[in-house]
Amino acid sequence: MKQMHKTGNVVVEGVAIGKIQFLNADYEEQIKRYMTGTEEEEKKRYQEAHTLAKDDLDSLLEDRDSLSESEAEIIEAHQLMIDDITFEDAILGYIEQKMSAPSAVLKAVDDFKAMFEEIDDEYLRERQKDIVDVGNRLLRKLLHMKEFSVVGADVILCAKDIEPSIMAGLSEKQVKAILLGSGSKTSHTVIIAKAKGFVTMVGVELDETEIADGDDIIVDAVKGEIILKPSEEELSRYKEQVQKQEEQRKYLMGKAKQPAVTTDGKEILVSANISRPTDMEKAVEYGCHGVGLYRTEFLFMESAQLPDEEKQVAAYRSVAEQAGGNLCVIRTLDIGGDKHCDCLSLEEEDNPFLGFRAIRICLQQKDMFKVQLRSILRAGLYGKLAIMIPMVTMLSEILETKQLIEEVKEEMRKENIPFAEDVPVGIMVETPASAVMAPLFAKHVDFFSIGTNDLVQYTLAVDRGNQSVSYLYDYFNPAVIHSIHRVITAAHEAGIWAGMCGEMAGDKLALPFLLALGIDELSMSASQAPVVKEQIRNLESGICDVDKILSLTTTEEVREYLQSLL
C-alpha cells in the first residue's frame, strides 16, 4: 500500500485518525434528468420544496441547547434568507419565464452571488456561500435527493466546501476532522467547525483517485500534514498522540472553573462571547468568568417586530442571573454590516461595513435605542451588567449615548420603575479612529474591549476573503500591535480596565504580548476558555519584552519572537 502525504493550512489544531468520507453533490446531473412541468406545476413544486427546506432548518433549531452560538446564528440567518421576499420573487419570476423550478433556483442564486461579489467588504462577500447553501437545500428538495449523512464513526470529512447548515448538523461523536479545499477563517463553515472543536484544515487538495471513501487517513493539524493510507506503524504512533490529546482535554475540563492566574500572581478574567441566554450553559460549563460580549442584535433578528422592553429585560436578566455575580458586558445593537433584520427598514448599501450600522443607527433611532438602554438598566438589578457601545469613531457618540442613559434613568425614576444606577459604560475599540483617540475616549468611559476582527481589517485595509491577499490579514502586523499597545496603555493611564473580544483573544501565540501589556480580560467562544486559562497559569506576565516587540518591523519578526517565548 503506497503511503502519500498532503499539506494544508491549519485552522483548528489537533490530531485525528479515521476513515475518509467525501461529500459531493452532483446537482447538474440531477437537473438534466428533471422533467419540467407547467408553470403552475413548477411553482407548486417550488412552494413544496420551500416548505420542506424551512422545516429542515426549524428542526435543526429545535434542540437549540445542543448548538453553539455560531451554529444557531447561522441557521437563523438561513431561515431569514430562505424567506427573503426578493430571493423568492426572483425564483418565481424565472419560473414565469418558463424555467424549471431547479433552474430558477440556480439562476436566482447566481444573481445573488454576483451581487455579493461586487461588495468590497470581504466578510460580507463571504456570505455568498450562505445563499448557495440555502439554494442547495431547495435543490435537494426539488430533485428528491437525500440529505447528507455521516456514515459510521471516526469520520474525516473531505469536500471542496461544506454548506454551513450541513456542518451545523454534524455530530462531534462521529466526525473527527474536516478537510476543505477552500475556505477562510471568516467563512461560516469554518466558524462552526471551530465552535464544534473539529480538527480543521483548509486549502487541502485530495483526489478521489488517490484515496477512496472508507480508507484510513491521519490528519496532523499541528504540523499541517495529512497522511493517506498510513502504515500500521504510523497509525500506532498517532493513536498514542490522540490518546494524549483526549487525556489533556479531560485534564483541562477538570480545571476549567479554576481562576486564570499567571505564575507571578496576575489574574486574567476569561469570559464568554454569547448571542443568547441559552449560550450561558456552555459558558458556565467551560469555566468562563461572566460574559465579555453579548451580541444583542440576534434578539432583533429573530422577528419582524422590534423586541419590546419586557422581552429584552427577560433576556438580559437571564444572562445576568446565570453569570452568578460575574460581570456581563452587553453590546448595544450592532445591526448593519453582515447582519440584517426585518424589524428595521434599512436601505441596501454598496459597502455596509463602512455605512449605516451599529451606534450610527441607534443614535438616529433614539426611541428604539432608549428601550434597549432601559431594559439593560432594569435587568442590572439581577446581576452585574455593563453597556458596551460598538463602532465608535467620535467622542460625540459616547457623550450622546451617556446623555440618553441619563434621560432614561430620569424617566424611570418618574415612573417609579426600579433599575440599577451604577451600570458601567464602555466602548468596543474596533476602528482605527477609536484606537487613535483612545487616550481621549478613555476619560469618558469605564472600560475598553478591543474587537480585533474589525480592527485588523479596517487598519490593514485587507480583504481576508480574497485568497490573493488573505495572507495580509494578520493581527501580528506591527501596525495592529502598536494600536493594541496604544489602546491598553491609554486605558490604564485613565484608570479603566481593558479587555479583548476578537479572535486574537484566544490565540496562544498572542498571550505573552497581551499579558505583558497588562490586559485585564479576554473574551472568546466558551470552548476555547479551558485551553487559554491553562496557558495563562503557565506564563509569567512579564515574559514578553514590550519595547522589543514594538521595535520589530515585520509580521514575521513579531511571530518569530512570540514563538520563541512559548
What does the block give as the cell for 446? 469605564
Report residue 461 CA to chain centroid gap: 20
Residue 409 burial (CB count, 10 A): 18
3-state SS assignment for residue 427: strand
Residue 74 burial (CB count, 10 A): 25
Distances, alpha carbon 210 to alpha carbons 1, 10, 217, 275, in Å: 11, 22, 12, 42
Distances, alpha carbon 474 to alpha carbons 149, 500, 511, in Å: 36, 16, 15
**C-alpha–C-alpha distance, residues 414 and 471, integer Å:** 56
Cα dihedral angle (148, 149, 150, 152), rounded to 10 degrees?
-140
Asked if 499 and 456 touch (Cβ cutoff 8 Å), the reply is: no
Asked if 325 and 380 touch (Cβ cutoff 8 Å), the reply is: no
- Name beta bridge partners: 329: 386
**C-alpha–C-alpha distance, residues 158 and 33, integer Å:** 27
Closest to 159 in 3D by CA, of 202, 95, 211:
202
DSSP string, 365-406: SHHHHHHHHHHHHHHGGGS-EEEEE-S--SHHHHHHHHHHHH
Catalytic pick among 50, 188, 289, 340: 188
Residue 188 appears among annotated catalytic residues: yes
Phi, psi values for residue 329, rounded to 5°: -90, 115
Closest to 195 in 3D by CA, of 226, 167, 224:
167
3-state SS assignment for residue 350: coil
Q: Which residues contact 422 (CB under 8 A, 6 or more apart)?
A: none
What does the block give as the cell for 433? 479612529
Catalytic pick among 158, 328, 362, 501: 501
Is beta strand 267-274 parallel, antiparallel or unpaired with respect to 260-261?
antiparallel
Angle between helices 69-82 and 128-142 (to 10 degrees): 70
Residue 501 appears among annotated catalytic residues: yes
Distances, alpha carbon 430 to alpha carbons 3, 352, 414, 437, 528, in Å: 47, 15, 37, 12, 22
What does the block give as the cell for 11? 485552522
- For the annotated catalytic residues, the residue numbers are 188, 501
